[in-house]
Structure 1
Amino acid sequence: MERDVMIKLLEQGHVSIPAVFLDYYDALGIDEKDMMLLLHIHRFIQQGHTFPTPEQLAQKMTLTVNTCQEAIGRLLKRGVLRLEQKEDDNGLMYEKYSLGPFYDKVFAYLEAEQAPEKNKSDLDAGELYRLFENEFGRPLSPMEGETLAMWVDQDHYTYPLMRAALREAVISGKLNLRYIDRILFEWQKNGIKTPEEADAFSEKFRQKQRGKGTAEQPAQPYPNYNWLEAD
């Protein structure tokens, strides 16, 4: 019986995992659970099953079907997994997953490593996305993801400044993108370009609030500034 089981296991074959999966997933802002899901998708693709369902993936993991579905959505939204439509020899359309976008991002990361002067936007975007999700305690919605992209592409906010604005919102206890957008707008309007300048600018407002305290109602030691009411 043990011999038969071993033969069946060997007949299942081997899976070749590119080292780039293990070396660069963290740099692209992918956590371990999502990376394991990518590895399972990679395994299915290698075995000729290019469109595994959330149910099939959940059977290979400790995740629920819904959690697998959400993770697939995250990976598609982050641009490390792509869903493609193909046509077979009989003219019938079918869907398949592609890991090409993951390799593209790894290539961009390696390019940035070899040329430090180039823009490391893919790396910074992954880190920023993960940081916002960690602080919000949930995945970002597609609209929130678009807002982050607009801050970079249209408003030209730098990644260090966006991280500083997120920290300011956490301090103020107003964790939403509308509030963070106003912080960034105020900083830009006042010529703030670095996190250090932003810290000094914010501290001036806090000092004003400290001065508003009375003997009956002393100011808080670290008062919040409402950026939505800025002049």
Structure 2
Amino acid sequence: MSDTVTVHGFSPSGNCHKVRLLLEQLGRPYRWVETRSDQGATRTPAFLALNPNAKVPVLVREDGAVLTESNAMLCWLAEGSAFLPADAWARAQALSWMFFEQYSHEPYVAVARFICGWTPLDSPRRADLPRLRERAHAALAVMERHLASHAWFTGEAYGIADIALFAYTAVADEGGVSLARYPAINDWLARVRGTPRFIGLPDNDADVRARLAASA
């Protein structure tokens, strides 16, 4: 696959960053369309025609075909590359971690970060933070146990399950979820950051940084 894909995404979003990181590491040409979901950009008629679910990221091929859901994009983009195991069992293991990320990790780690950074300081949603942080630590404990005896989540080598789990784990502290008690996770994060063509999440804008600081 060498055609240029277009990705509609919000740069501070971990789900969007997953796709951008893999594209960079594949060296694949792409066009990024910054889509401020926090300012209603995913609710316009033009965007809803691409994704009626009103969420980013959205990937569009040159032929106009549309793909939604970040982990589905990772699987499609990684097909035939070293980022996705060729062995069926190893691939299933990688996919199991990607399902874990969306069901047991992202709903707590990412949502805590969202509430801290993108909701008003008096938002009633902040009452959910203790529960979200508790569940986030439960997910991180599962990851820590795996990483105590494995270097990666995609199998023997770095790949898309690592990219999927890295995105929000790397910024867990922005939701008040400290990584201090997870040495294996911190070592893994460093390994991911050391992979070729790695790019990190961009800094949040000033108002988001202020809310994150106040929520710490």
TM range (shorter): under 0.3
Greater relative CO, 1 or 2 (CA 8 Å, sep 6+):
2
- The structure whose Rg is larger is 1
Report the TM-score, using the length of structure 1 for normalisation: 0.22
